[in-house]
Structure 1
Amino acid sequence: MSLFEDSYKTIAKPSEGQFKDRGSKFLAYAYPLRDEAAVKEKVAALKAQHPKARHHCWAYRLTPDRSVFRINDDGEPSGTAGRPILNSLLSADITNVLIVVVRYFGGTLLGVPGLIHAYKAAAQDALAAAAIVELTVNDVYRITVAYEQLNEVMRIIKAEDLNVLKQEFDNQCVVELEIRQTQVEQVLGKLGKVDGTGIVFLKTV
């Protein structure tokens, strides 16, 4: 991702796909993913849903710059499951996605090329059924301002079409909002001109 690219593609909601070969069934489940903590929970839920399946292999890719990824072959020969699943995410150029492929063994060994093809085909089928969306990379800021100046701040928020996440109105007002990274300099410049405004960066989403 270049320095000036501030958008990325992901999936809007969970989707499913499948692939069958010589009696083996490969059921693929794709999930939108915001952080690694959710991976264990999703995999555990699928293991509970498919207790008789032989393998639960997975791969995920995270962060807008697509730099964080992990794969798991779950007992399949090294490089035959997690890597082909990850390759399907790379081919689609999407991130913040987890794909788990559940395999029911059909009694016939597929061999290394057969496994690689099966896991990739199942993952691609799940992605073909998914709604791919483009999201922007946003920074979240907390703005504090005296009640008298609140109207000025709200005018800027409306003019720049910013997403307000939280607001508390008192003598001292607090507004948390998302600003698209390419807008940050411009918006903070405007907000900084409002008397007594405090601006704190919280996180990037």
Structure 2
Amino acid sequence: MQDEYRTVAHEGVHETEVNRSRFLCALAPAASEQEAQEFIARIRKEHPTATHNCWAYVIGADGGVQKASDDGEPGGTAGLPMLQMLTRRDMRYVVAVVTRYYGGVKLGAGGLIRAYGGAVGEALDALGTITKRRYRLATVTVDHQRAGKLQNDLRAAGHEVRDMQYGEAVTLEIGLPDAEVETFRGWLADATAGTARLELGAEAYGSAE
């Protein structure tokens, strides 16, 4: 697994204009190809009279699945520059759709490449991106008496408590970078006088900010 990747902070649309043609770039995070395709279909439905709805997406933290469409624009002038902008920015799990409303002035191949790639770049700048870092899910089990203080201590130490369950004991789920597991194990023993139990789970990605 990659240690980290970047993706869009949230779904959104940014509009640019080039020689009277309107370019609306819709961006969204997408966890799978199906999500990306569903987003593309939704944008198409929202703009049925548009001249073109070109798209590109990158799915997978390693950039594994990459697809793009020119949607009727000359080959290689729309989808590919959009995809290149996403990969140049190290974007992952992201889908971009650029909707064009033709303004009456032909842009030429070079102009189209700049317009479509630029629309994605400007949208990324306007909407913002976030870094997702790899971490290991960890479950801490502790008695009820120490649970409240431990929760506060965890947050004070910068560990987000992702979930908390109450049963015979209390379980708290957190995320830990692999490099910090052993340090955390020692910290937890000190914080709970050795009474807490730590279990490591699967790897996942979470926001770094």
Q: CA RMSD in A?
A: 3.3
| Structure 2 unaligned blocks of 5 or more | none
Task: Supply the distance in 2 between the matched residues of 1:102 and 1:178 (Cα, whole angstroms).
Answer: 39
Letter in 2 for 1:18: T
- 1:32 is aligned to 29
Task: Supply the distance in 1 between the matched residues of 2:53 and 2:67 (Cα, whole angstroms).
Answer: 14
- 2:137 is aligned to 140
- 1:81 is aligned to 78
TM-score, length of structure 2 as denominator length:
0.74
The DSSP-based 3-state class of the residue aligned with 1:121 is helix
TM-score, length of structure 1 as denominator length:
0.75
Q: How many angstroms does 1:119 deviate by?
A: 0.9
Aligned length: 201
Q: How many angstroms does 1:31 deviate by?
A: 2.4
The DSSP-based 3-state class of the residue aligned with 2:110 is helix
- 1:100 is aligned to 97
1:120-167 residue CA offsets vs partner (Å, 9 max, x unmatched):
122122123223444433332333445466468547634642111111
Q: Of 11, 18, 21, which aligns to 1:20?
A: 18
1:107–1:158 Cα change, 3 Å? closer
Q: How many angstroms does 1:19 deviate by?
A: 3.3
Task: Supply the distance in 2 between the matched residues of 1:141 and 1:72 (Cα, whole angstroms).
Answer: 41
Task: Supply the distance in 1 between the matched residues of 2:151 and 2:121 (Cα, whole angstroms).
Answer: 45
1:168–1:25 Cα change, 3 Å? same
Task: Supply the distance in 2 between the matched residues of 1:159 and 1:26 (Cα, whole angstroms).
Answer: 46
1:15–1:180 Cα change, 3 Å? farther
Q: How many angstroms does 1:34 deviate by?
A: 4.0
- 1:70 is aligned to 67
Letter in 1 for 2:15: G
1:29-85 residue CA offsets vs partner (Å, 9 max, x unmatched):
222344444312322221122110132211223444444433233333332222101
Task: Supply the distance in 1 between the matched residues of 2:58 and 2:94 (Cα, whole angstroms).
Answer: 6
1:40–1:113 Cα change, 3 Å? same
Q: How many angstroms does 1:86 deviate by?
A: 1.6
Q: Following superposition of structure 1 onto structure 2, how do residues 1-205 of structure 1 map, counting pairs within 5 Å?
A: 6-13=3-10, 14-21=12-19, 23-106=20-103, 109-147=106-144, 150=147, 154=151, 157-158=154-155, 160-188=157-185, 190-191=187-188, 194-195=194-195, 197=197, 199-205=199-205
1:159–1:82 Cα change, 3 Å? same
| Structure 1 unaligned blocks of 5 or more | none
Letter in 1 for 2:175: E
Q: How many angstroms does 1:169 deviate by?
A: 1.5
2:8–2:94 CA contact under 8 A, matched in 1: yes
